């Protein structure tokens, strides 16, 4: 059984500087909630995610790290184009494909199970909810032309599931359609309706996201547990070493002394997230007495620390970093550090802040003999 997560659009109606599916819901991206609903389902053997081109080229960690096969494809101009590209990656032994809109992060295991079971028997099925309101049809002039029988009206949701041969027929149709079920109908296949869930809402506007937060809190019985961690690191500046901060090699006549690459930014962030999760510190997981970590890439260590935090049941909400250095000037490199840190932690750059401060000539930092870093991390229980 293969799940396709349709996330190739950007959610223009939602607004904001980033794709809608990366907006946070209870401390985690909407996309992550939707992916995990299928990764955690025992009936699903693989997941394929269709993303916008730039995200597909550099997907966040939660789209890459998985105990099941998890593939990423670049989406197309239309939803059905994105689904077709994902369908091309489906395993040859797959019998049923289930398609889900990434913007529906609250899908339940029960709805997934019902949809799969119906499609396995009938060839195609969608989750839908019956209309609770009287439905009117109106002309272009706004005048009602008819009243439709309410008991025949269903509001389509995802997931939508199809036997492979049915979906192949559906995707061969070039017509525009808002969902795969419409294409399957046009291809002459019968599509069954199973009971959806009113809480399986589609996040289209910021108001929808606010409602999703409340629904998720009600489902969990309480707001997610928030925990704060603090990290600090200081290294001497010495000749003959590269200066590496936040995974960026910065041109300078000195570098930081240490067992690994001495990336004080990564070390402080690592301690902050591990501390917030109650999972020890960098010295416990990557001791400087172990030759394995000699000259180690601290971005790689941070990536591993992020996985430790996720395995403990937490999601990283945001990280704030302050680098104290008299020289060199760090502001030209802050954005690159932000990108490196967000990539290592599997979150979006907007969840990371990197700031540079001088020490006004005071102490070893002010004298240009060392660099210190403070980091604060907020994590949320799932």
Q: Are residues 106 and 10 in the same domain?
A: yes
Q: Do 191 and 233 sit in the same domain of this protein?
A: no
Pairing of strands 46-51, 70-74: parallel
State residue 174's pLDDT score. 86
Neighbours of 77 (CB within 10 A): 9
Q: Are residues 281 and 216 in the same domain?
A: no
Closest CA to 37 of 121, 106, 89, 88: 106
What is the pLDDT of the chain when averaged over all its residues?
Answer: 90
Domain end among 220, 254, 275: 220
Beta-bridged to residue 126, according to DSSP, are 160, 193
Q: What is the DSSP string of 30-68?
A: HHHHHHHHHHT-TT--EEEEEE-HHHHHS--GGGT--SS
Alpha-carbon distance values, 153 to 147, 185, 354 (Å): 11, 16, 52
**Residue ranges of the chain with pLDDT lower than 70?**
12, 65-66, 219-224, 382
pLDDT of residue 168: 95
* Phi, psi values for residue 367, rounded to 5°: -85, 0
User: Looking at residue 58, what is its pLDDT?
Assistant: 87
**pLDDT confidence of residue 287:** 85
In the chain, the number of structural domains is: 2
Tell me: do 211 and 272 sit in the same domain: no
CATH number where 110 lies: 3.90.550.10
Q: 3-class DSSP state for residue 364?
A: helix
Considering the domain architecture, whether residues 355 and 311 belong to the same structural domain is answered as: yes
* DSSP track, 182-201: HHHHHTT---EEEE--TTS-
What is the structure's pLDDT at 339?
92
E strands, 223-330, are 226-239, 243-245, 248-250, 254-256, 314-324
Residue 179, number of CB atoms within 10 A of its CB: 21
Do 73 and 89 form a contact (C-beta atoms < 8 A)?
yes
99 and 199 both lie in a single domain:
yes
User: Which of residues 158, 186, 220 is at a domain's end?
Assistant: 220
Q: Which of 220, 242, 262 is the last residue of a domain?
A: 220
Rounded to whole angstroms, how far apart are CA atoms 32 and 203?
14
Q: Are 188 and 240 in the same domain?
A: no
Q: What is the CATH number of the domain that holds 345?
A: 3.30.1330.50
Q: Which domain holds residue 372?
A: 226-381
Q: Is residue 128 located within the same domain as residue 13?
A: yes
Whether residues 123 and 259 fall in one domain: no
Shared domain for 213 and 323, answered yes or no, is no
Residue in 221, 214, 169, 341 with CA at minimum distance from that of residue 269:
341
Please enumerate, as own/partner, the contacts of 356-365 that have beta carbons within 8 Å and a separation of 24 or more.
356/322, 356/323, 356/325, 356/329, 356/330, 356/331, 357/322, 357/323, 357/324, 357/325, 358/324, 358/325, 358/326, 359/324, 359/325, 359/326, 361/326, 364/236, 365/234, 365/324, 365/325, 365/326
Question: Are 255 and 204 members of one domain?
Answer: no
Are residues 349 and 207 both part of a single domain? no
Stated pTM of the model: 0.61
Q: How many C-beta atoms surround the C-beta of residue 88 within 10 A?
A: 10
């Amino acid at each position: 059984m293969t799940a396709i997560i349709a996330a190739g659009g950007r959610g223009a109606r939602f607004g904001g500087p980033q794709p809608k599916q990366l907006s946070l819901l209870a401390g985690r991206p909407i996309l992550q909630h939707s992916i995990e609903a299928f990764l955690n389902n025992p009936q699903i053997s693989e997941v394929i995610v269709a993303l916008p081109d730039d995200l597909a080229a550099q997907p966040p960690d939660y789209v890459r790290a998985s105990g099941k096969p998890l593939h990423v494809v670049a989406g197309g101009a239309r939803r059905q184009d994105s689904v077709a590209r994902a369908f091309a990656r489906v395993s040859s032994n797959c019998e049923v494909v289930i398609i889900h809109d990434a913007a529906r992060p609250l899908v339940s295991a029960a709805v997934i199970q019902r949809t799969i079971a119906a499609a396995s028997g009938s060839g195609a099925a969608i989750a839908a909810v019956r209309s609770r309101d009287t439905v009117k049809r109106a002309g272009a002039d706004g005048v009602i032309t008819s009243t439709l029988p309410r008991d025949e009206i269903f509001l389509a949701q995802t997931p939508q599931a199809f036997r492979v041969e049915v979906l192949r027929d559906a995707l061969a149709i070039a017509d525009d359609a808002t969902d795969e079920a419409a294409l399957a109908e046009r291809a002459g296949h019968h599509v069954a309706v199973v009971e959806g869930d009113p809480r399986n809402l589609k996040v289209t506007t910021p108001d929808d996201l606010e409602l999703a937060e409340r629904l998720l809190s009600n489902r969990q019985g309480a707001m997610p547990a928030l925990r704060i961690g603090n990290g600090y690191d200081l290294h001497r500046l010495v000749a003959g070493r590269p200066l590496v901060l936040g995974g960026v090699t910065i041109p300078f006549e000195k570098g930081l002394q240490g067992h690994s690459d001495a990336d004080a930014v990564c070390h402080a962030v690592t301690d902050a997230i591990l501390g917030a999760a109650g999972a020890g510190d960098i010295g416990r997981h990557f001791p400087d007495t172990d030759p394995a970590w000699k000259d180690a890439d601290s971005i790689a260590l941070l990536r591993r620390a992020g996985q430790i935090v996720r395995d403990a049941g937490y999601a990283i909400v945001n990280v704030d970093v302050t680098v104290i250095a008299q020289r060199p000037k760090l502001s030209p490199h802050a954005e690159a550090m932000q990108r490196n840190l967000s990539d290592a932690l599997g979150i979006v750059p907007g969840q990371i802040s990197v700031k540079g401060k001088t020490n006004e000539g005071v102490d070893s930092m002010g004298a240009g003999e060392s660099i210190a870093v403070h980091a604060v991390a907020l994590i949320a229980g799932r």
